[in-house]
Chain A
């Protein structure tokens, strides 16, 4: 049985419901899902690699379906916020009124999360340099201790023309 199927509650029809209220429902009705996936990415050559950790409650929402808005909504809000005369969001309704996305697999959820929370400069051109700017891995593939954490970098041995390292 999939992790999503183990989640018993049936999602109400949430289109038009404030996203924050949907998250309240999810918090009350869904068990958090700890993902073993981590996203290692570098958005500056002068800084160490960063590690993206999926939130368990968010992952539960993604696997459940019918709760989260399409990722494009976040891009639209980010565009608004990048405008020089931006004061406050006036298109927040996009979060609440856009039809929620269907249930995702854990792998699809990670892809969604990358496109939502990683800088676009990383994931849109992750394989255009001498080495990948981003790698999806399992938690146990990361160094076992945090010694030399500020020196962590993505290996230059990884190829950019392969989907799996």
Chain B
């Protein structure tokens, strides 16, 4: 790395509102994904190695840097869907499912998800 700051705690200019850098890192998203299932393209990502288009409205994605276990948080939103189901399957893989207003599986042009938790 060209340069780095090594500190344990961050504070504002008045010396208040301190936060440990471990809290900052622990609360940061460890991966994110913007996936267009209609065109089957990955439009943006971080720490993702691939997406698997599993079926209409269903996909899974795999990370490069694994999480410490399968107990990680995975918020998920989708443009086309009114109902969304998502789950962490393993320390490296999450699954998402989007459905339309009739509760049928439906592809979406934008599926956005991210991971929160501890890295391996």
Tell me the A residues contacting B by CB distance below 8 Å: 12, 18-21, 23, 25, 27, 34, 38, 47-48, 50-58, 61, 68, 74, 77-78, 81, 86-89, 92, 95, 113, 116-117, 139, 142, 146, 149-150
Supposing A48-B55, A95-B120, A149-B56 touch, asked if A58 and B49 sit within 8 A by C-beta, the answer is yes
Which of B9-17, B63-71, B79-87 participates in binding chain A?
B63-71
Give the distance to chain B from A15, nearest Cβ to Cβ, in Å. Answer: 14
Instruction: Verify if B41 is at the interface (C-beta below 8 Å from A).
Output: yes
In whole angstroms, what is the CA distance A65 to B16 when docked?
44
Is the Cβ of B1 less than 8 Å from the Cβ of A54?
no
Q: Are A146 and B91 in contact (CB under 8 A)?
A: no
Contact A87 B69 (CB under 8 A): yes
Residues of B within 8 A of A27 (CB): 46
Closest 8 CB pairs of A and B: A92-B120, A89-B120, A51-B53, A88-B69, A58-B49, A117-B62, A19-B65, A88-B68
